[in-house]
Structure 1
């Protein structure tokens, strides 16, 4: 789960149904002899065609047992197979959860994604690949504890970062934070940001609509959240945060067709962070109270991405 606080100042850029079915009025009034008395003489002699009778003719076995004729049996079997197929399609379709998200997207929204792994809540971030930015090629690579813990720990213990991330401490505490995401249900993916192959930033890409954050703002299905930490001191304070944020936000919109918005919630006091989001094409939506801070809700809309 992403940290409560994620900001991007000069020293850091944490850019942090079931419906019911009821009978219609017409259907509810139809029933066998619903209004007829037991001695009603309004009867109808119905003569079935011979073929229809033959269809449901009973076969008598050698032991005296009775069963449906072969034609009826075949018909019933085919009907059951058809019903099973329909049920399977319905379950599979509802399992993707993309119908609601697609409706939330603006006219530009492409069809909902048909990911081969419907259980992946973020669309295989590991397969998003690199993206070109004015600062160079940026590649988000999911964190590997044994490889990345030392450098992430060093970044998190930088005083300029600690003020907003609040994760300073021994490696085992930071490892716990990372591992909780890596072994979770996939709603948050911690990543290293490689710029031209060099690790220089830490990212958390997460499902904001499935995060506790959703209790504090009017979330929409498939909202994608982003936290960013610029690790290297030489990469801070020169506008690179806004450049990378725009690239990653647009990458998320490109790779997650059901997503209509990318959101973030930097500390309202972190003016450089808010400025970085504005530079990246996010709009300021509202101030929201979170458990550990008052935040600026920043949103990058799919429908406005080519205008901002």
Structure 2
């Protein structure tokens, strides 16, 4: 579980337990066999509609050969074409990756131009765009290793940050932390926070309901988690944390209609961070024990956003 506050602890990369369930075979709805004599009489008295007879009428050719009527032939041809399309779609789907379970009627893979972005689990954080805050325009830009690793590494090696994030060390350790998210399925998106165009913060926007954090609190579907690190010393102690957290939490609620709550879990010892979340309209929900820390569970509710 990644760290979660303005100076929060580092944790493990998000994982999801998966399992396979087999649907129970439905009970047969066919009743006991009825009296054979009664069935035979009903069948003998059955008269087929004229349309049904015409569908399967046989034509006799000049040479005496017999073939299906035009309507039946068209129906059979369409059925064969549908079966061929289904088979082709199934082959494409199976070729998408090893271990993929394919349904008989699997749809064709979408064209490359419509393939979902890797961060679709969060609704496309890269497209959230800049937002106006009392401190200026803030833009969350997904991390690019070659561009952002040096500055993130410098921030993580600040002694004031190390105590809570635990990512101090050579660049390769921090790079591994970033790549574990960038190479994932989009449930966590690391971002640089640009205030008026200047990099000054590091963010992680993640699906809390799909994160190991969900094992430690009563998670709800689409809960969105937020981690924040204010990078430069000159930007700390000015109230920026609360201002930016409120703006980003509201942005997440605006961009993710299915999300009813934004959550965070700063280290309970990190009083300035807890205070920043309270200033941002989060409420203190509980103390929870996580693998690397005792945390304050902070929640910003959609229903209370205009009251707190």
Query: TM-score higher than 0.5 here?
Result: yes
Q: Structure 1 pair 95/68, CA: closer, same or farther in 2 (3 Å)?
A: same
Moved more, 278-287 or 128-137: 278-287
Q: Structure 1 pair 279/149, CA: closer, same or farther in 2 (3 Å)?
A: same
CA contact (8 A) 2:4 2:227 kept: no
**Whole-Å Cα distance in 2 between the matches of residues 108 and 284 of structure 1?**
47
Q: Structure 1 pair 290/35, CA: closer, same or farther in 2 (3 Å)?
A: farther
**Whole-Å Cα distance in 2 between the matches of residues 106 and 91 of structure 1?**
9
Q: Deviations over 1:136-179 (max 9, x none)?
A: 11111111112211111111111111111001111111111112
Q: Deviations over 1:48-83 (max 9, x none)?
A: 233321212245789998764321344566689999
Q: Structure 1 pair 27/81, CA: closer, same or farther in 2 (3 Å)?
A: farther
CA contact (8 A) 2:4 2:226 kept: no
Q: Note the residue ranges of structure 1 that are not aligned, 5 or more in a row.
A: none
**Whole-Å Cα distance in 2 between the matches of residues 80 and 105 of structure 1?**
14
CA contact (8 A) 1:282 1:301 kept: yes
1:169 is paired with a residue of what secondary structure?
coil
| Aligned-residue offset at 1:242 | 0.5
| Aligned-residue offset at 1:281 | 1.0
Q: Structure 1 pair 113/270, CA: closer, same or farther in 2 (3 Å)?
A: farther
**Whole-Å Cα distance in 2 between the matches of residues 116 and 62 of structure 1?**
58
Q: Structure 1 pair 135/299, CA: closer, same or farther in 2 (3 Å)?
A: same
Aligned to 1:238: 238
Aligned to 2:72: 72
CA contact (8 A) 1:225 1:262 kept: yes
Please report the TM-score for the alignment, with normalisation by the length of structure 2: 0.75
Q: Structure 1 pair 88/272, CA: closer, same or farther in 2 (3 Å)?
A: farther
CA contact (8 A) 1:267 1:296 kept: yes
Relative contact order higher in (CA < 8 Å, ≥ 6 apart): 1
| Aligned-residue offset at 1:210 | 1.3
**Whole-Å Cα distance in 2 between the matches of residues 111 and 260 of structure 1?**
33
Moved more, 134-143 or 66-75: 66-75
Q: Structure 1 pair 307/4, CA: closer, same or farther in 2 (3 Å)?
A: closer
CA contact (8 A) 1:111 1:258 kept: no
Moved more, 142-151 or 73-82: 73-82
CA RMSD of aligned residues (A): 8.2
**Number of equivalent positions:** 308
**Whole-Å Cα distance in 2 between the matches of residues 149 and 161 of structure 1?**
16
Moved more, 149-158 or 75-84: 75-84
Moved more, 78-87 or 125-134: 78-87
Q: Structure 1 pair 182/268, CA: closer, same or farther in 2 (3 Å)?
A: same
Please report the TM-score for the alignment, with normalisation by the length of structure 1: 0.75
CA contact (8 A) 1:12 1:231 kept: no
1:38 is paired with a residue of what secondary structure?
helix
Q: Structure 1 pair 38/159, CA: closer, same or farther in 2 (3 Å)?
A: same
**Whole-Å Cα distance in 1 between the matches of residues 85 and 181 of structure 2?**
37
Q: Structure 1 pair 23/307, CA: closer, same or farther in 2 (3 Å)?
A: same
CA contact (8 A) 1:10 1:272 kept: no
CA contact (8 A) 1:188 1:207 kept: yes
| Aligned-residue offset at 1:224 | 1.1
Q: Structure 1 pair 95/251, CA: closer, same or farther in 2 (3 Å)?
A: farther
CA contact (8 A) 2:118 2:185 kept: no
Moved more, 75-84 or 202-211: 75-84
